[in-house]
Structure 1
Amino acid sequence: MTAHNLILNVDSYKASHYLQYPPGSEYVSSYIECRGGEFPEAVFFGLQAFIKQYLLKPISAADIDEAEQLLHAHGLPCHRAGWEHILQAHAGLLPLEISAVPEGTVVPLHNVMLQVVNTCPACFWLTTYIETALLRAIWYPATVATQSREIKKVIAKYLEETAGSLKSLPFKLHDFGARGASSLETAMLGGMAHLVNFQGTDTVSGVIAAHKYYGADMAGFSIPAAEHSTITAWGRPGEAAAYANMLDHFAGPDRVVAVVSDSYDIWSAIDTIWGGELRERVIQNGGTLVIRPDSGEPVKMVTESLERLMRIFGARTNRKGYRVLPDFIRIIQGDGISRHSIPKILQAMKTRKQSAENITFGMGGELLQKLHRDTMNFAMKANAIRINGHWHGICKNPRTGPEKKSRCGRLALVRNNAGQMVTIALDELGQRKNLLEPVYRDGQLLRETRFEEVRHRAQIPLRGG
């Protein structure tokens, strides 16, 4: 079996749906929206990556043969005639039109983001067949990008309040999530989605994806950093030598190096090694040493680490009245970091007059993995069907689940007189601009989006400098 047979990139029950639509069916329209969830708005992202990876390559006769054999053995029919029509009449490319908001657009909840319709009446069944792959391609990177952006708002707020400068903001949330992701493709998509908002990452596959799918020369950056194995390999008596070795190799003017320092006793490491035996080397290192306290309760670890470092190395008071370590030393907290713990840490720092300038956050599974489709209630639903030349709006409206009511009729997304995005019926568009623009049609990518464009659209409102 091939890994990328588009016919099999589907929920099983979809294979029987071509037999379930009314006679005379010609076109089916479906749309994607967020029906609710934990954030007030969503960053639309991931469509171009999906199109380039899956929709620009035609299906083959071998794909059809493989799908028929598997689906029959699986207990389902296979619409061989339909797929052969696509192969012969459309050169194996899907006769669909996908319209969407530009990627990086921040869309309020309960609004259409994407609409798809078949372009060949013989393929009325194809619009909903693609749901499994298309919805998954959108909900995951869009949710990661949205969460990352919401965290960026929080960090920016505390920088504005305690630092007075946002210069460091692009590197304040570092992606540690590659090893905790469920697959390489998950790490690629999620890592890339995080880079919509920040530039710090250790997820190499995310950088690769941003280049491959959105043309980014280099979307993310990292620094040399220790892990526990490279410290404990020296043995406990050699802990100071291990730290000194990091400075030997990676310290220097305009260089940054991170050293995990809790392999044995973080307080001893700060007080007697970094602040004792290696104190002058830290001060004279020429760049920035970033100490990583990696265990313990995060709020306590951060605030206590900063207090100890400030006692040892001193601190200046910035123009906002908050204390900042010398430029040669900072900390990164990478354990217990989530969208819930970050504001708690920053608030505790603020209470102790510690500036948010002092810290960078590293976020792993909470960033790329502890999310799901219902985090923002993403859904793709059919909203219209054309039968024998006439369009009919269709929707679901379950009595026992009114929150799952879907929209009826073909849709458009516009800005109202107040500049807010609202979803309307396509028939009511008139002279207004539809923010849903065709992106894909019949095997062709119609609009190429660059990664910098995505970042620009997803920018957060800022007050500070």
Structure 2
Amino acid sequence: MATDCYNLSHWYLKENMDYEVSHIYNRSRGMILFGFNEIVIDLLNRQIEEWMIMDAEEHARSVGMKFPSKMWYGLIKDMKGYIPLKVEALPDGSWVPKGTPFAQVTNTEEGYGELVTWWEGVFLHSYFPSGCATEAMYLKRYLMERGTDTNKFHSFGFRGHRSMEDAYWAIKAWNMVMEGTDDFHGLQHTPNSNMSTIPATAHKTIQQFDNEIDAFKHAIDKVSEKGQEAVSLVIDTYDPWNIINNHLTDIIDYAQEREIIPVFRPDSGDIKEQAKAIYEKADLHAKGYPPFCGIIIGEGMDRKKIIEFDNYFKENNIPLQYISYGIGAGFYKHIDRDYLGFAMKTAYSNGKDRMKLTKSNPYKQSIPGYVNIVNDNGVMTVDYTKHGLYEIVYEMDERSSRPKYNRVSWCDIAKRVNLYTDPKVPLQEEIVLSPSVEQKKKEFRKRYL
């Protein structure tokens, strides 16, 4: 039932369902492909049973539709309930230029062509993990351009997610290239990651004390007792300027005596001005030595805002090594299906190559026929060949007793992603079509336009 209602009518709206081929594209922008491998395998590596068909029939009737039961019962008889599809794709972790047919889905047995797009909606859900991996990669590239430690960005994202599924994908993407995180649950999903964090006060810990300064000193003492090295101190529970103007240097001295680095967190008001004042006051107090403190900013941050803040700090001669950022929903809230332009389009059906031509919007045009992606002297190119960069994700046919699939480990995906985090590595902006593919599209334009 993980399909769109209109698929319930396609089996009789088509002339036949013998064989079909479809491609999945990122039509809006280049990306890091992530999550597709896991989503496809978890979805397709199962057996269809009669009770599932009966359940779907009942629900179809409730919306005035007729379920294609014959096809599904045939699948149980012919394939022991396994799904006769072949899914090929670029490897997870790959850089994928805009407009690439990054995945290709075909049916392996005659008469099951409708299955090619039956789970289109689920396949396209990989837009979110791919979007998160892409954003994480760009953040890491910026950090490396910035020239500071790569732990200067910290994930504050857990509480802003719409679901645990989104939280799962976002932290797996983040941990591939980042270290700092507040997302404790990420440890169970990425046990081999280099996650790091520090103790941090919250408004609830400050509010326990009648005196705010006592709360800071207590936090510093306890962190020292635990043998830790730093603590984040949120300063806006009452009046951040009171802390900055009247107590900052005393807190720094108290922490330095105990060899604990205080990381001040301005969290409301004019945060840039507060951060500037914290650094300038700490710098003056240090009397020529490096200021003994750090600053972390986590209020409404995203990549664009971080760059804006960094430019402000550089203009005011504040070394960026003292500035860290906590990034919450700004990491992922802009990522919807349109962000990457995920779409699945038919390339072969009813015995012929097919394409969506869309004269009114060339952005939505697809590529006809069975293809592959090749590396043509360093340029990713679509061509008509069976040999290329596609890898088989899932495959099942009547000659197999069980599906074959290639589950790629998170560690291997992370290694591949990190090849692109170096800002010196060029990222191909758009996919290139081979002369033969361009010729085929030209023939379609001549025929239909």
Give the drift of 1:341. Answer: 0.3
Aligned match of 1:35:
27
Residue by residue over 1:165-185, the C-alpha shift from the partner in whole angstroms, topping out at 9 and shown as x without a partner, is xxx21x222221121111111
RMSD of Structure 2 on Structure 1 (CA): 2.4
Aligned match of 1:238:
211
- Aligned equivalent of 2:79, options 75, 82, 90: 90
| Contact residue 201 and residue 232 of structure 2 kept, 8 A | yes
Q: Distance in 2 between matches of 1:206 and 1:444?
A: 30
> Is residue 2:309 matched to residue 1:350?
no
- Aligned equivalent of 1:436, options 384, 387, 390: 390
Give the drift of 1:412. Answer: 0.8
- Name the amino acid aligned to 2:145: K
The 5 Å alignment of 1:446-461 reads: 446-459=405-418, 460-461=421-422
| Contact residue 301 and residue 330 of structure 2 kept, 8 A | yes
Q: Distance in 1 between matches of 2:117 and 2:96?
A: 23
Aligned match of 2:166:
186
- Residue identity (%): 25
Residues 77 and 354 (structure 1 numbering): CA distance in 2 closer, same or farther, change over 3 Å? same
- Aligned equivalent of 2:93, options 104, 111, 117: 104
- Name the amino acid aligned to 1:157: E
| Contact residue 97 and residue 116 of structure 1 kept, 8 A | yes
| 1:307 alignment partner, SS class | helix
| 1:241 alignment partner, SS class | helix
Give the drift of 1:334. Answer: 0.7
Aligned match of 1:81:
70
Q: Distance in 2 between matches of 1:72 and 1:187?
A: 35
Q: Distance in 1 between matches of 2:321 and 2:404?
A: 42
> Is residue 2:249 matched to residue 1:275?
yes
> Is residue 2:8 matched to residue 1:15?
yes
Residues 126 and 157 (structure 1 numbering): CA distance in 2 closer, same or farther, change over 3 Å? same
Runs of 5+ consecutive residues of structure 2 not aligned to the other structure: 397-401, 425-449
Give the drift of 1:70. Answer: 1.3
| 2:282 alignment partner, SS class | helix
Give the drift of 1:142. Answer: 0.4
| 1:116 alignment partner, SS class | strand
Runs of 5+ consecutive residues of structure 1 not aligned to the other structure: 1-7, 211-215, 317-323
Aligned match of 1:224:
199
Give the drift of 1:462. Answer: 4.9
Moved more, 283-292 or 127-136: 283-292
Q: Distance in 1 between matches of 2:403 and 2:254?
A: 58
Aligned match of 1:411:
371
Residues 279 and 90 (structure 1 numbering): CA distance in 2 closer, same or farther, change over 3 Å? same
| 1:113 alignment partner, SS class | strand
| 2:25 alignment partner, SS class | strand
Residues 354 and 231 (structure 1 numbering): CA distance in 2 closer, same or farther, change over 3 Å? same
| Contact residue 189 and residue 209 of structure 1 kept, 8 A | no
Give the drift of 1:101. Answer: 1.3
| Contact residue 86 and residue 93 of structure 1 kept, 8 A | yes
TM-score using structure 1 length: 0.83
Aligned match of 1:201:
181
- Name the amino acid aligned to 1:289: P
| Contact residue 96 and residue 441 of structure 1 kept, 8 A | yes
Aligned match of 1:320:
none
TM-score using structure 2 length: 0.86
Give the drift of 1:287. Answer: 4.1
Aligned match of 1:365:
329
